[in-house]
């Protein structure tokens, strides 16, 4: 019935005694109404998806059930995830700056939308009151509220994709420090750890900032059908912005020109230069965190979740994103939140110890690499049957190659984009380096994806 954010938010937040049911219901209703449902991508469904993803990751690495993880920290994570894109109107920060939008003036062209989302979330929090007139967070002490607010601001600002690659590079240095200490575990236990996100609140906030960045592009690690649907949606938003820029006589922003757009090549670049490095770093972080804090027999344990349960969870969100009906065994977000133990709302205060290991590597990284291979197969098919684009009275055929295009879903600065494009001609990720025999054994798709077929028929404006 279109209330996926309200349902997901209530399932996660109702267990915290600080919330009064009436005030919580008012807050979630107002928050969901704050999202622009007509957007193809940045909607209340995306917010609910990010909330579920961030819960999965924090639970996977052991944060959620850690004794150093307070209820206020859990609340901050869930509120930030649910409200991280509230009010988004399908235009990016660059567009707001070049069109001299009022928000760009207010926030001095710096993380414009992220600052706007943060302030909008807190306005809704402050106005969400129960029958007794108290707001949602009125039972928090002044000190606790200050820390919760600071964490929410930090994590929502971290979803600014223009700083993604820089932040990922800095986080890699922290992970490298963890790796060096893990090389001699006895010494690591004997001295203060340089980066200890399990026990140090400041390091915890920094690590969770990367989690939020990953969750925000989390469709890259979802089942192929979901990833393809989300990719189509974000491309629709980009192209709508490009159309408006053309009408205004502005240069069309990178990734926003629908003329000659080829989905598979765009997504190859996005996964190769942004998503796979992000999930690789987080998978390594997950393992090193377990080395720091768990007995060896737990660190080396093998966790292989049942594929049927995993698939049921994927199908549940697929029914929401693609609009293809509810899967068997659960409808809409109900199936998403209840089909696997790791995403059950009751686990918020449950007794599960979180000892199952390497979930990010086995779920997220592996699926992201698989999605890359799907796009690469489509690009290989396209090189054999290149589409023809009609532009006015002329006809053009794009070059037939399978090199990755610049990242599709991350608005990188020009320097980073140029670096990524240059690397595309000489660098291939580990995911693309499958053995020749295995590649030959995989059946080649006989059809082009629907995006490419649609592009073949489209007559683009001049």
* Active site positions, annotated: 42
Helix (H) or strand (E) holding 389: strand 389-391
Cα 344 to Cα 51, 327, 358: the distances in Å are 13, 18, 19
Place of tokens 């929410």: 152
- Short-list 428, 57, 440, CA closest to 276: 428
Q: Are 340 and 53 in contact (CB under 8 A)?
A: no
How many C-beta atoms lie closer than 10 Å to residue 76's C-beta? 23
Q: Which three-class secondary structure string do you get for the chain?
A: CCCHHHHHHHHHHCCCCCCCHHHHHHHHHHHHHCCCCCCCCCCHHHHHHHHHHHHHHHHHCCCCCCCCCCHHHHHHHHHHHHHCCCCCCCCCHHHHHHCCCHHHHHCCCCCHHHHHHHHHHHHHHHHCECCCCCECCCCCCHHHHHHHHHHHHHHHHCCCHHHHHHHHHHHHHHHHHHHHHHCCHHHHHHCCCCCCCCCCHHHHHHHHHHHHHHHHCHHHHCCHHHHHHHHHHHHHHHHHHHHHHHHCCCCCCCCCCCCCCCHHHHHHHHHHHHHHHHHHHHHHHHHHHHHHHCCHHHHCCCCCCCHHHHHHHHHHHHHHHCCCCCCCCCCHHHHHHHCCHHHCHHHHHCCCCCCCCCHHHHHHHHHHHHHHHHHHHHHHHHHHCCCCEEECCEEECCCCCCCCCCCCCCCCCHHHHHHHHHHHCCCCCHHHCCCHHHHHHCCCCCCCCHHHHHHHHCEECC
Distance from first CA to last CA of the chain, Å, rounded? 41
Backbone angles phi and psi of 396, in degrees to 5 = -130, 150
């Amino acid at each position: 019935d279109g209330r996926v954010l309200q349902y997901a938010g209530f399932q996660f937040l109702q267990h915290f005694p600080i919330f009064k049911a009436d005030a919580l219901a008012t807050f979630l209703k107002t928050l969901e109404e704050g999202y622009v449902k007509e957007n193809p991508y940045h909607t209340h469904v995306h917010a609910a998806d990010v909330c579920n993803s961030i819960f999965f990751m924090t639970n996977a690495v052991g944060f959620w059930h850690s004794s150093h993880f307070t209820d206020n920290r859990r609340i901050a994570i869930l509120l930030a995830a649910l409200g991280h894109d509230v009010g988004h109107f399908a235009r990016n920060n660059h567009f707001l700056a070049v069109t001299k939008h009022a928000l760009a003036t207010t926030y001095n062209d710096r993380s414009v939308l992220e600052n706007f989302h943060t302030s909008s979330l807190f306005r809704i929090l402050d106005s969400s009151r129960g029958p007794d007139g108290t707001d949602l967070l009125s039972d928090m002490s002044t000190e606790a509220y200050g820390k919760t607010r600071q964490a929410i601001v930090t994590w929502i600002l971290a979803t600014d994709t223009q700083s993604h690659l820089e932040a990922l590079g800095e986080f890699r240095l922290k992970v490298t420090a963890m790796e060096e200490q893990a090389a001699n575990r006895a010494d690591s236990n004997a001295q203060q750890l340089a980066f200890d996100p399990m026990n140090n609140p400041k390091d915890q906030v920094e690590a969770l900032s990367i989690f939020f960045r990953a969750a925000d592009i989390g469709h890259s690690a979802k089942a192929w059908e979901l990833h393809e649907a989300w990719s189509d949606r974000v491309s629709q938003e980009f192209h709508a912005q490009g159309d408006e820029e053309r009408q205004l006589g502005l240069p069309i922003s990178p990734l926003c020109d629908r003329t000659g757009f080829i989905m598979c090549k765009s997504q190859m670049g996005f996964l190769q230069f942004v998503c796979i490095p992000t999930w690789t770093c987080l998978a390594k972080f997950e393992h090193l965190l377990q080395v720091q804090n768990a007995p060896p027999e737990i660190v080396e344990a093998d966790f292989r979740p049942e594929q049927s349960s995993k698939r049921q969870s994927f199908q549940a969100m697929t029914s929401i994103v693609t609009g293809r009906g509810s899967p068997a065994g659960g409808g809409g977000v109900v199936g998403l939140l209840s089909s696997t133990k790791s995403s059950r709302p009751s686990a918020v205060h449950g007794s599960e110890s979180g000892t199952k290991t390497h979930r990010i590597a086995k779920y997220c990284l592996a699926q992201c690499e698989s999605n890359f291979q799907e796009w690469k197969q489509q690009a290989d098919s396209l090189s054999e049957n290149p589409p023809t684009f009609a532009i006015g009275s002329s006809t053009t055929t794009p070059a037939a190659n399978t090199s990755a295009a610049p990242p599709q879903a991350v608005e990188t600065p020009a320097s980073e984009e140029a670096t990524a494009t240059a690397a595309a001609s000489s660098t291939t990720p580990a995911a693309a380096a499958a053995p020749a025999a295995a590649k030959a054994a995989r059946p080649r798709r006989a059809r082009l994806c629907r995006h490419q077929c649609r592009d073949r028929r489209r007559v683009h404006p001049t």
